[in-house]
Amino acid sequence: MQTPMIDYIHLLLESIGEDGGHVASYIPELAQANPDRLAVAIATLDGKVYVAGDADVEFTIQSISKPLTYALAIADQGLESVLQHIDVEPSGDAFNEISLDPDTGRPRNPMINAGAIAAHALVSGEDADARVDRIVDLYSRLAGRSLSIAEDVFESELSEADRNMALAYMLRTVGKLEGTPTDVVRGYTRQCSVSVTVRDLARMASVLAAGGVTAEGERVLEPEVNRQVLSVMATCGMYNSAGDWLTSVGIPAKSGVAGGLMGIMPGQVGIAVFSPRLDAHGNSTRGVRMFERMNHDLGLHLMNASASVSTVSRRVEIDGCSVHEITGDLHFIEAERIMRGFEDEPVGDAPVVIDLSQVRRANDIARRVMLEGIRRLHLDGHEIRLVDPWGVLGSAETGNGELVRGEQARGGYVPGAFANVASAVRG
CB 37 within 8 A of CB 81: no
How far is it, in rounded angstroms, from Cα 150 to Cα 190? 8
Round to whole Å and give the CA distance between 292 and 297: 9
Q: Does 113 bind ligand GLN (CB under 6 A)?
A: yes
> 234 or 352: whose CB is closer to ligand GLN?
234
- Catalytic member of 239, 249, 275, 359: 239
Catalytic residue among 196, 232, 257, 288, which?
Answer: 257
CA distances from 123 to 126, 140, 188 (A): 10, 16, 11
Could you tell me how many residues of this chain bind ligand GLN (CB under 6 A)? 11
To the query of whether residue 313 is one of the catalytic residues in this protein, the response is no
State the alpha helices, DSSP H only, in 91-161.
113-122, 128-143, 151-158
User: What is the DSSP pairing of strand 59-60 with strand 49-53?
Assistant: unpaired
139 carries a ligand binding annotation: no
Bridge partners, 317 (sequence order): 322
Q: Contact, 109 vs 91, CB < 8 A?
A: yes
Closest residue to ligand GLN using C-beta atoms: 63
The single residue among 110, 237, 250, 256 that binds ligand GLN, judged by CB under 6 A, is 256
282 lies in the binding site for ligand GLN (CB under 6 A) = yes
Contact 279, 21 (CB under 8 A): yes
143-172: contacts with ligand GLN (CB under 6 A): 157, 164
**Any contact of residue 323 with ligand GLN (CB under 6 A)?**
no
Contact 384, 378 (CB under 8 A): yes
192 binds ligand GLN (CB under 6 A): yes
Rounded CA separation 201/219 (Å): 17
Residue-by-residue DSSP string for 349-389: S--EEEEEEE---B-HHHHHHHHHHHHHHHHTTPPEEEE-T
Is 226 known as a binding-site position?
no
- Catalytic residue from among 40, 49, 66, 254: 66
Q: Is position 50 annotated in a ligand binding site? A: no
Q: Is 59 in the site for ligand GLN (CB under 6 A)?
A: no
188 annotated ligand binder: yes
CA separation for the pair 360, 184 (Å, rounded): 45
The minimum distance between CB 92 and ligand GLN, in angstroms, equals: 15
Strands (E), 138-203: 195-196
197 binds ligand GLN (CB under 6 A): no
99 lines the binding site for ligand GLN (CB under 6 A): no
Task: Pick from 37, 49, 55, 62 the residue near ligand GLN by CB under 6 A.
Answer: 62
188 catalytic per annotation: yes
Pick the catalytic residue from 188, 229, 273, 359. 188
Is 157 part of any known ligand binding site? yes
Q: If we measure between CA atoms, which residue out of 206, 199, 251 comes closest to residue 41?
A: 199
CA distance 382 to 6: 53
Residue 156 is a catalytic residue: no
Site residues for ligand GLN, window 257-276 (CB under 6 A)? 257
Beta carbon of residue 378, minimum distance to ligand GLN (angstroms, whole number):
57
Q: Is 257 a catalytic residue?
A: yes
Residues that constitute the known binding site for substrate: 63, 113, 157, 164, 188, 239, 257
List contacts with ligand GLN (CB under 6 A): 62-63, 95-96, 113, 157, 164, 192, 256-257, 282
Catalytic residues: 63, 66, 188, 239, 257
Query: Which residues line the annotated binding site?
Result: 63, 113, 157, 164, 188, 239, 257
